[in-house]
Structure 1
Amino acid sequence: MPRLMLTDDSWKLLSRIMYLTGRIYKKPEHRMTLEGILYRMRTGIPWRDLPCDFGDWSAVFRRFNLWSKKGVMAEIFKFLSRLNDAQWLFIDGSIVKAQQDGANVKAPNKQAIGKSRGGNSTKIHLAVDSGGLPLHFELSGGQAHDVSYGESLVTSSPKGEVVVADKGYDSQALRDLIKRRNAQHVRPRKGNSKRGNDDIDWCMYRYRHLVENAFLKIKKYRAIATRYDKLARNYQSFVALAFSLMWLPMWVD
């Protein structure tokens, strides 16, 4: 029997959330289906190589694809992240290489795949709270600049007192947006700036590693660290599921 990832208490919580969405019928085999999805996320194996302990691989994949269409994983993440402490907001982006089979699509730009220095890739744009737990994320092609998603990350996250980012988010428009939300911006200016960085709270800036830690935690799953999924919605569902696992200890003793 392959190693499972969910305890009984974790499954009770996740199943309750899944059924509350009204998009899934209550069936006993759903636990092993979710365990199969988690196994594939952890190992990155092709769906056809999924151990038979989780059921027929095609049934697990079809169910995952259906749940992805219905946004079930996104709903789980949205529900669990309600316990956030958004006093401080940290934002950043991280590139994920797209495997050659996953990048073999007719319209890569519509599937959040683009060309970066490393080739075909996807970028995860993320905002985390004061404890380093994920609040909101978006996907784009790997060539997208971080600052182009800065405003969306800030406006889609709960209001906080401080927004911390690196110099890749050095934009006056973003600074103005943060001020309108009555928050303090902690972001170094670029080297060619005439104003310098004398007004930066460097003590607060040191905590920016919290968002880097979040990327580190989800990239331990091979299907996250390398994108194998052709469809952006399916990869997004895996990312949402990985972030949900970060929230589980906050809900389950």
Structure 2
Amino acid sequence: MPRLMLTDEFWPKLEKILLQEAIYNKRNLRMTVEGVLYRMRVGCPWRDLPEVFGCWNSIYKRFNAWSSTNKWSRVFKALIIDPDWEWEFIDGSYVKAHQHSAGAAGKKPQAIGKSRAGNSTKIHLAVDGCGLPVEFEITGGDVNDCSVAPELIAK
């Protein structure tokens, strides 16, 4: 069985937040969330999720549904409790996008930009004095940290 990320102490707190965001308490909710977290931590394809988490396609569909309705963002915001504002640190990380990632149909911006390495996305993250994330912004890979820093600090 893969190593789980959520402790028995933390799960009831997260479950309460998920239920407040209208994420229904289906019978495998914890394993679905564990599967999503495992996939994000390891970076494996959805199809390669260990079977202990359940059907990879169900987890993928729930992740997409929750993402498209901004439920993950609201859960993230709800988890930020009493940040330490004595210090605030900002950093960015590049994520290489697949060569066929740009150009999907739709009106939403895709946050994919051209850089030296090709198509890429950049995650700008602000953390508090304890190193816990408090805000993030996703932009194209061609956007530098200095142009996003004022927005992150203002948020």
Shorter-chain TM-score above 0.5: yes
Q: Where does 1:1-253 land on structure 2 (aligned, <5 Å)?
A: 1-21=1-21, 23-100=22-99, 103-106=101-104, 110-156=109-155
**Deviation for aligned residue 1:52:** 2.0
**Contact 2:102 / 2:112 at 8 angstroms: preserved in 1?**
no
| Cα 1:94–1:30 shift into 2, 3 Å | same
Q: TM-score, normalised by structure 2?
A: 0.87
**Deviation for aligned residue 1:104:** 4.7
SS at match of 1:111: coil
Paired positions, count: 153
SS at match of 1:95: strand
**Deviation for aligned residue 1:144:** 0.8
Q: How many Å separate the matches in 2 of 1:106 and 1:80?
A: 32
Residues 155-207 of structure 1 show CA distances to partners (whole Å, capped at 9, x for unaligned) of 11xxxxxxxxxxxxxxxxxxxxxxxxxxxxxxxxxxxxxxxxxxxxxxxxxxx
**Contact 2:112 / 2:120 at 8 angstroms: preserved in 1?**
yes
Q: Cα RMSD between the aligned structures?
A: 1.9
| Cα 1:18–1:141 shift into 2, 3 Å | same
SS at match of 2:85: coil
List structure 1 runs of 4+ shifted beyond 6 angstroms: none
Q: How many Å separate the matches in 2 of 1:59 and 1:106?
A: 23
SS at match of 1:27: coil
**Contact 2:6 / 2:34 at 8 angstroms: preserved in 1?**
yes
**Contact 2:102 / 2:110 at 8 angstroms: preserved in 1?**
no
SS at match of 2:2: coil
Residues 54-103 of structure 1 show CA distances to partners (whole Å, capped at 9, x for unaligned) of 111111111111111222221222112122011222223222222345x2
Q: How many Å separate the matches in 1 of 2:85 and 2:143?
A: 26
- Provide the residue aligned with 1:210 in structure 2: none
Structure 1 unpaired stretches of 5+: 157-253
> Which structure has greater helix proportion?
1
**Deviation for aligned residue 1:128:** 1.6
| More relative contact order, 1 or 2 (CA 8 Å, 6+ apart) | 1
Q: How many Å separate the matches in 2 of 1:117 and 1:81?
A: 35
Paired AA for residue 118 in structure 2: G
**Deviation for aligned residue 1:134:** 1.4
SS at match of 1:4: coil
SS at match of 2:91: strand
Q: How many Å separate the matches in 1 of 2:66 and 2:6?
A: 18
Q: Percent identity?
A: 54
Q: How many Å separate the matches in 2 of 1:50 and 1:126?
A: 27
